[in-house]
Amino acid sequence: MCIVGVGLSDGPVTPDLSAVMLEAQSFRRALDDAGLEKDDIDGLASAGYGGMHEVALAEYLGLAPTWLESSSVGGSSFEFHAMHAYRAIQNGDADTIAIVYGNNQLSASGRTLGTGGGGGGRGGMALPLPMSYEFPTGLTLVGAYAMAAQRHMHEYGTKPEQLASISVQTREHAARNPNAMYRDPITVDDVMSSRLVADPLHKLDCCVISDGGCCVIMSTEERARDLGHRPVFVRGAAGGTTHHSIAAMADMTRTAAAVSGPKAFAEAGITPADVDMFAMYDSFTYTVLVVLEDLGFAPKGEGGAFVSDNGGNLRLGGALPTNTDGGGLSATHPGMRGLFLLCEATRQLRGEAGASQVPGAEIAVAHGSGGWLSTQATVVLGTEGN
């Protein structure tokens, strides 16, 4: 199974476009990129909020799909969608599936997720236990990630400066992306002197909030070879969850990526050393660090040294170029970012990443993280099939 088309909407600030308009724009661009028509699409996946979102979206896009997917598990939803689409196409349940997401969160309402508010119209939802006890005490989304980062620092001696180096290297990638929200270079000192949000996470340790839409179209290998682009093969995929609320996280230094990564890598027939480029949901710098360890790119407890600014492993030309579009830390983050990871990984494997191209990239990994480090999903892509 292959990714045959990708499309990005305008962004990162689009005050004149609604969320569904951003979705439609990215869908149209993905169709054009693939050389397909709407009638070629028989499957649709979306993780927009609202129980009927994917049905309303299908109508808006002029589609009548026979396969629908609406898993909504936070920022990793789209890697789950890709995994489910991969299996559905393998099984013959669908032929060509579009995964679509868009949100105008910045223009519509500003950032509410980090405050513990629901955002996206969900603020009035009843909170499941034990979160109904956590939030009134002042625990925020950023605070939950900060607690996990503190635990990692306590157990392994990780330094805030090492977390900051992730932002520095990611901003270097954003500087080469004309559509990135922030492009000016930053230093570790800049990160450390930015406003403290929840110790040890500073403002520049946290993802931006933006508008934006993205679409990825998947189809059979047979169809892919008849289209204009070099096929990008899905070679393996896996996901999992360990908890919902942060209070139920058994080990704040280990996520379900420790399960999804090895399973996806085994299916793809690769090891972490084979990966040429990594697209990671960088909701916060700690998210990147802990997932790098859980996927096996660095031994547990040594992620700080791996991402250290002195080593530059995440840079273009480093051991593992990561988030080469500037990531959620600097480029774009419209509420959820997981689909943008698949798009950037595809562009890299096609050789279409311009100034941020990883030379000779043949294997890329897109990894989504959702909730309070709750859901993790890994997708391995390659220029060749298994």
In the chain, how long is the greatest CA-to-CA distance?
57
d(CA 269, CA 264): 9
Integer angstrom CA distances of residue 283 from 122, 136, 165, 293, 363: 20, 23, 15, 16, 23
CA angle 83, 87, 90 (to 5 degrees): 140
Strands 96-103 and 212-219: antiparallel
Place of tokens 């180096």: 165
d(CA 325, CA 6): 14
Please report the pLDDT score of residue 49 as a whole number: 57
Alpha helices per DSSP H over 35-179: 53-61, 77-91, 105-109, 131-134, 141-156, 160-174
Place of tokens 């392994």: 156
DSSP per position, 306-372: HH-TTT-TTSTTSSS-B-TT-IIIII--SS--HHHHHHHHHHHHHT--GGG--TT--EEEEEEEETT
Amino acid at the residue 13: V
d(CA 299, CA 303): 7
Please report the pLDDT score of residue 209 as a whole number: 93
DSSP letter at 240? E
Please report the pLDDT score of residue 105 as a whole number: 87
Please report the pLDDT score of residue 124 as a whole number: 42
DSSP letter at 120? T
d(CA 352, CA 286): 29
pLDDT < 70 regions, the chain: 49-52, 110-130, 309-310
Q: What are the domain boundaries of the chain?
A: 2-108+207-381
Please report the pLDDT score of residue 127 as a whole number: 62
Place of tokens 């649709």: 44
d(CA 386, CA 382): 9
d(CA 83, CA 140): 30
> What CATH number matches the domain at 2-108+207-381, 2.70.50.30, 3.40.47.10, 3.40.50.2000, 3.90.226.10?
3.40.47.10
Please report the pLDDT score of residue 138 as a whole number: 83
d(CA 132, CA 375): 20
Place of tokens 């250290």: 308
Quick one: which of 110, 101, 55 has its CA closest to 75?
A: 101
Long-range contacts of 265-268 (CB under 8 A, 24+ apart): 265/236, 265/295, 265/296, 265/378, 265/380, 266/236, 267/235, 267/236, 267/237, 267/238, 267/380, 267/386, 268/235, 268/236, 268/363, 268/380, 268/382, 268/386
Give the pLDDT confidence of 317-348 residue by residue, as tens digits.
Answer: 999 999 999 999 999 999 999 999 999 999 99
Whether 111 and 105 have beta carbons less than 8 Å apart is answered as yes
Cβ–Cβ contacts within 10 Å for residue 90, how many?
Answer: 11
Give the pLDDT confidence of 98-119 residue by residue, as tens digits.
Answer: 999 999 989 887 544 443 334 3
